[in-house]
Amino acid sequence: MIRKSDIILGLCLILLGIASALYPMLVSKTGGTLEVSVDGKHYGSYPLFIERKVKIKNGDHENIFEIKDGKVKMIASSCKNQICVNTRPISRQSQNIVCLPNHVMLSIVNESKKDKEDLDAISN
């Protein structure tokens, strides 16, 4: 037999689950810097407030991304499946666009996080 307290407990657990799923989207900050890596190596850093198109060449592979209105979108790629081109634009920290065939990763980082990574072990 289901008691009133069981229903209340169930509703509380459902609300807790919904809140924990929405929390990262609500607290993540927009803006910051786009970090680009090719073959796992740093390729470049681009602020999101400057609109531009950037072409990345890696051997026979080519990707073009665009920064516009504080968002980043992969607009062209030489890869076969075009998953990276069909990915939604990113604008919040910790969001990524990845082109696996071309070994390209676009990541948005917060300025303060980037500054902390520049410190070495001794200066921490």
Residue 33: predicted pLDDT: 92
Residue 65: predicted pLDDT: 97
pLDDT digits over 85-110, tens only? 999 999 988 899 999 999 999 999 98
Q: What is the pTM of this model?
A: 0.68
Residue 111: predicted pLDDT: 65
Write the CATH number of the domain with boundaries 33-117. Answer: 2.60.320.10
Residue 67: predicted pLDDT: 95
124 residues of the chain, pLDDT tens digit each: 888 998 999 999 999 999 888 776 666 555 689 999 999 999 999 999 999 999 999 999 999 999 999 999 999 999 999 999 999 999 988 899 999 999 999 999 986 544 445 554 555 4
Domain ranges of the chain: 33-117
DSSP assignment of the chain equals ---HHHHHHHHHHHHHHHHHHHHHHHHPPB--EEEEEETTEEEEEEETTS-EEEEEEETTEEEEEEEETTEEEEEEE-SSS-HHHHSPPB-BTT-EEEETTTTEEEEEE-HHHHHHHTS-TTT-
